[in-house]
Amino acid sequence: MPKDAGPQAKTNPGRFFEDYTVGDVIQHAVPRTVSGGERALYHALYPARHALYSSDEFARASGLPESPLDDLAAFHIVFGKSVPDVSLNAVANLGYAEARWLRPVYVGDTIRSSSEVIGLKQNSSGKTGVVYVRTTGRNQHGLAVMEFARWVMVRKRDLDAPAPETVVPELAPSVKPEKLVMPGGIDFSAYDFVQAGEPHRLSDYQVGEVIDHVDGVTIEEAEHMMATRLWQNTSKTHFDATPREDRKRLIYGGHVMSMARALSFNGLANAQCLVAINGGSHTNPCFAGDTVRAWSEVLEIAETPAPGVGAIRLRLVAVKEGGMAGQLKGEDGKYLPHVLLDLDYWALMPV
């Protein structure tokens, strides 16, 4: 590279809309070996208390070899690797679908991540386009630990670049219960409700039931930055205070997701394993100083082939001050200004 290439010639400018081709598979950089350190940090950054992810003994009594890394931590690691290749020049993170956890991540595992481009659609403005990818995380044995589709709006570098053929993938509105993958060996036949923290089993929940998780956590800049760095997510917007006059940094949507999920322990302590995300929207930005609360709505209940294990489909909503349990959208059909996250997921629960 010639010396006069300029001081940014070696750095990663990220991909622009015209750099994606349907069918391309992008190998994301920087594999990551997880240790007890990642687990402890997750438990320091979020009020995470689900027993299966806290105690090796509880995990063994549930048929697993030891306590896995929290499922959303696995998601953040797989997702974070995709940021430099998928969303560095993104204008908006539009949605998730068909996310499934396929295998627990244990201490000592090394995770890598890749994304296949599964759809492209240039916007009518000609300045941006929507890129659909299916991202897969794999462990050191090459076995998939999770996969998800997401779509983002990405800028074009060259506004004159021709529009690609429009390909919009068909994505399921929700993961069918029969497609949920059970963590190998999982068995809730001898589930200890006392150690887990709540007496409610799957049959205690009803479709339509709304649960207010009550507790609130006020977020600090240091915390969300530590979390986001831990997942090696490089998006500048989470770290650099200079673009905004109030010096606030936009909080990684996954931080809100993990905070809300951890808060949902109070009322959903037995919703142990995340097995799928059906869809999710980061509906309003979150900033340091916001106090995050959460509420859930039971959407669906299903059987699974694992002994003593049922599946519960939940809407998890994170709100900031002003938000109320059960209130999601206004009369105009738009999300209320206090709603930060609307996440639709499947979890496993003792029947």
Using CB under 8 A as the binding rule, the residues of this chain from 303 to 322 that contact its own copies are 321
Rank residues 10 and 178 by Cβ distance to its own copies and give the closer one. Answer: 10
d(CA 191, CA 349): 10
Rank residues 177 and 216 by Cβ distance to its own copies and give the closer one. Answer: 216
Rank residues 55 and 123 by Cβ distance to its own copies and give the closer one. Answer: 55
Which of 316, 326, 210, 191 minimizes the C-alpha distance to 262? 316
Q: Which of 220, 303, 330, 334 binds its own copies (CB under 8 A)?
A: 220
Q: Is 10 in the site for its own copies (CB under 8 A)?
A: yes
Rank residues 9 and 91 by Cβ distance to its own copies and give the closer one. Answer: 9
Q: Which of 161, 217, 328, 336 binds its own copies (CB under 8 A)?
A: 217
Residue 166 three-state SS: coil
Q: What secondary structure letter does DSSP report for 161?
A: S
Q: Is 211 in the site for its own copies (CB under 8 A)?
A: yes
Residues 45/227, Cβ–Cβ less than 8 Å:
yes
Residue 301 three-state SS: strand
Site string for its own copies, 147-186 (x = CB under 8 A): ----------------------------------------
Q: Is 122 in the site for its own copies (CB under 8 A)?
A: no
End-to-end CA separation in angstroms for the chain: 62
Q: Is 143 in the site for its own copies (CB under 8 A)?
A: no
Sign of CA dihedral 179, 183, 187, 193: negative
Q: Is 92 in the site for its own copies (CB under 8 A)?
A: no
Q: What secondary structure letter does DSSP report for 285?
A: -
CB of 180 to its own copies, least distance (A): 23
Which of 309, 351, 317, 283 minimizes the C-alpha distance to 210? 317
CB of 269 to its own copies, least distance (A): 7
